[in-house]
Structure 1
Amino acid sequence: MLNRADLHGSLSEPLLDTMNFLNEVAGRYPEAISFAPGRPYDEFFSTEQVFDHLRRYLKHLEDEGRSAGQIRSAIYQYGPTAGQIRELIAEALRIDEGIEVPAESIVVTVGAQEAMLLVVRALTSGPDDVLLVSSPCYVGVCGAARLLDVEVVPVIERADGLAPADVEEAVRIQLARGRRPRALYVIPDHSNPAGTTMTLAARRELLAVAARTGLTVLEDSPYRLVSPGAQLPTLKALDTGRVVVHLGSFAKTVFPGARVGFAVADQEVADATGRVGLLADELTKIKSMVTVNTSSLSQAVVAGALLSAGGGVTALNAGPAAHYGASMCLVLDHLDRRLPAARRDELGVTWNRPSGGFFLSVRVPFVADNAALIRSAEQFGVLWTPMSYFYPGPGGERAIRLSTSYLTEAEIAEGVARLADFIDVEAESRVRSTRLSDRRQ
């Protein structure tokens, strides 16, 4: 029998148990309405679309003059480690985001999660290297860093997103500790979990901070093209100094089961002989020892989806973006109705109002931990995610994350009603406990 203490330390971290715990609770209370999963809405997917996209890509290869044998190999064989649809992704980035990069600067990955792992591994070379992250933060990048034994340093987000001055101060503090800040991970648009969006001025200043301090910015941006209205430019589109590695995913825009993501890594890397290559080439070396390559079949389906939409995904996601925007508004509207301003002021409840994405954050006057989540599921039939899951350090103990993407209108209405009842009861219970404690003193 193996001893847990002899296994890698990350396996004893609560961080790696968080998603399993949520899945376990959802399985135990199948009738509960869940605001926990950040999943796309199922009704946008059709099984036949998979075959349509695959046929469209096969026709594309045929139109390019590929032989029957070459087309067969493109589907059945491993394919190049860096990916076989890099040109199509580069064109989609140009159409959708105004990002102009050569195809060879792109590495196609098994979801954005692998892209995070590859980039963090490539950029950190010693025990003094640290990764800065906006906090609260997507748990996947913190998990990847922990697996690699890379220290994570949180930079607390403000109401309007990450403040460049806070990043620069964090760099100064880490340098004073003898640490080497190597990179900063941030979701500038409709962040997961808080739903914040950085202003244009903050984006420009963050790039200036990165240039001054030598930071590489890891920009994760999965929610832009499934959000309504015009979006601010990505950090990569504004990046004239090649300080940004752009992490992308087709999980939200095409479908999550394909597990196709990518990294745009056009930074130049010089070796000891003076030969210059791209960071993408270094990521490809690591990928060859991690997943070898990304599924050729999955790449083909994603490529077919891009081709069917004229090369980009903006047109493909016009309907979903409108739907997700409406779902966010509907959740906020029902929250306003169930917990009107006077009542939430009395209870000490607040929430933000994201302009897009899948998530919003609700601050509550009680500890929103796993025990509270179980009470919510058992007594009220509603699930959510504790915000404390997303803090690399202390924080988020009195806040919850709500996902607005996955539920129907009827489920949203009923789910918010149940959630409001739960918050009301928990808040009142805390008030009674406080009064009793005060009397005893």
Structure 2
Amino acid sequence: MSLDRKHLLKAMGPGILFASTCIGVSHLVQSTRAGADYGFQLIVFIILANLFKYPFFEFGSRYAGATKKSILEGYQQEGKWVLWVYFLLSLASMFTVTAAVTFVTAGMLNNLMGWSFDPTILSGCILAFCTLLLAFGKYSLLDGLLKIIGSVLLISTLVAFFGVLGKGQIQPIESFVPKELMEREGIIFLIALMGWMPTAVDLSTWNSLWAVERMKQTGYQPKLKEILFDFNFGYIITAFLALCFLTLGAYVMYGSGVELSSNSAEFSDQVVRLYTSAIGDWAYLIIAIAAFSTMFSTTITVVDGFGRAMGETVRLMFFKNAGVKTLYTAMMVIVAGVSFIFILLLASNLKDLVDLATTLSFVIAPVFAYINYKVIMSDQIKDEYKPKPWLKNLALAGLIFLTVFAIIYIMVYFGIISV
């Protein structure tokens, strides 16, 4: 049965927000760095991470389409302990996640404007601006803003991608020594890369929250197939762009003898020059704007997503009669404030901050993946809305994949196995 265009347009939006969340640190930073440091060695792992995480993000949208509620309410119905697990693990990761994306955004802004402001102070200003913007503009402003930013980034990245393909890969310098993937540093980076590829699994709750908010905005309750079309559209774009960023890093920097900097401003300039080396120096300002816009869109969706998800979690757990908007705003302020403290403590090294956030996301991913699987296969969901056998089997394979790699990381990190 074909999709009705008019109704589909009313459902579209959450998928774009999801893509905007993903195409930030995981793509602009980690995928580019993967290509620059390891060439195309990690392409299989990027594909596998996108494949095996897919069911757990899809389940968030599926739950909203089937019940017209957020999956957090599904967590509650499975038992209050499930909400507690989500709440505590989110507390463990959300501040590092927000700190990492904001700090990169500050570097992009410094680079764009030619400033040399302290990136920690600039990060605080960005967090405050995002919080105020969301508190007063709410979902409609976020939805409209990110559709524009997403279009600019998509076009810029595709132009750069085909540009480097046309020029070909650079010749490695004579003294170039490739990095070993199976050494301790390589394995730790691999886990960090997959941690946010395409993004952290716990952010799957945002899909359902945004879908419910979109229903309120339009007054239309879309069918399940319309919600899933919107989600799949965003997911496919994020997966493809991850490969584009990997290619940019591999074609322009791998073997060049130049490493991506840990200084946020220098790193930002390096990333922008990846594009201009393919397109031309004339495009520097355009690409700098697109790169900053990309990271700003990620920051604002992260502040919104954590504020929305934690606000709803706190409401379900403690304050059932409290106003949703009040809790949403309060949680955004807390997320922004504590994340700024994390930036003050960890901002001396951009790579360390990003790796900490992404690795933590991967280690706790199996827990959130299992919770989503448990909810979507429960009696809360009518049989006609449950995943088809192929998706159910993919989810089970994904659980094994995420669990095995989380265990490998822990064993490598603590020296239980040596590499």
TM-score, normalised to structure 2, is 0.30
The structure whose Rg is larger is 1
User: 1 or 2, which has the higher strand percentage?
Assistant: 1
User: 1 or 2, which has the higher helix percentage?
Assistant: 2
Query: Which protein has greater RCO, CA pairs closer than 8 Å, 6+ apart?
Result: 2
